[in-house]
């Protein structure tokens, strides 16, 4: 990923909080393409609220590889486990990453998950968990 692409991604993330800003040209449409951006070591927004049945789209708006990996014991009990790479457990996701970056979301790529069960879902990015790359999705009825 070259620097120009990285800067474009950073600009898209920045525009999320500036609804009135249209100086980005085609980038102005970007916020509607995803719900959560992934930057250097953060999810933005780090907390998102959706209704049950809605699909959340994460987009890697930075230039590093990230994952979206649920904390197995920090999602509603009845909810299906989710992680980029399609792993069915947190340990499998961690092992997959160690085995060759399985589950990675490359720069510019997206991951999506549909939340059916109301409650709070906590998730993280495997390589950047040590630097606090965690997020929350709150699903309401």
Closest to Cu ion by CB, 36 or 133: 133
Closest to Cu ion by CB, 70 or 125: 125
Q: Rule CB under 5 A: which residues touch Cu ion?
A: 66, 125, 128, 133
Nearest-approach distance from CB 106 to Cu ion, in angstroms: 11
d(CA 94, CA 92): 5
User: Which whole-number Å values give the CA distances from 18 to 9, 23, 27, 70, in the listed order?
Assistant: 15, 10, 12, 29
Closest to Cu ion by CB, 52 or 57: 57
Nearest-approach distance from CB 41 to Cu ion, in angstroms: 6
User: Which conformational region is residue 32 in: left (phi greater than 0), alpha (psi within -120 to 50 degrees), or beta?
Assistant: alpha
Nearest-approach distance from CB 21 to Cu ion, in angstroms: 26
Backbone angles phi, psi at 66, to 5 degrees: -130, 170
């Amino acid at each position: 990923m070259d620097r120009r692409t990285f800067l474009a991604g950073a600009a898209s993330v920045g525009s999320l909080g500036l609804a009135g800003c249209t100086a980005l040209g085609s980038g102005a449409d970007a916020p509607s393409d995803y719900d959560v951006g992934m930057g250097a070591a953060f999810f933005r927004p780090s907390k998102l609220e959706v209704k049950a049945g809605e699909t959340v789209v994460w987009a890697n708006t930075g230039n590093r590889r990230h994952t979206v990996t649920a904390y197995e014991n920090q999602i509603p009990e009845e909810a299906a486990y989710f992680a980029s790479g399609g792993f069915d457990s947190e340990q499998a996701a961690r092992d997959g990453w160690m085995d060759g970056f399985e589950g990675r979301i490359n720069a510019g790529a997206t991951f999506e998950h549909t939340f059916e069960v109301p409650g709070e879902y906590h998730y993280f990015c495997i390589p950047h968990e040590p630097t606090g790359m965690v997020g929350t999705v709150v699903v309401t009825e």
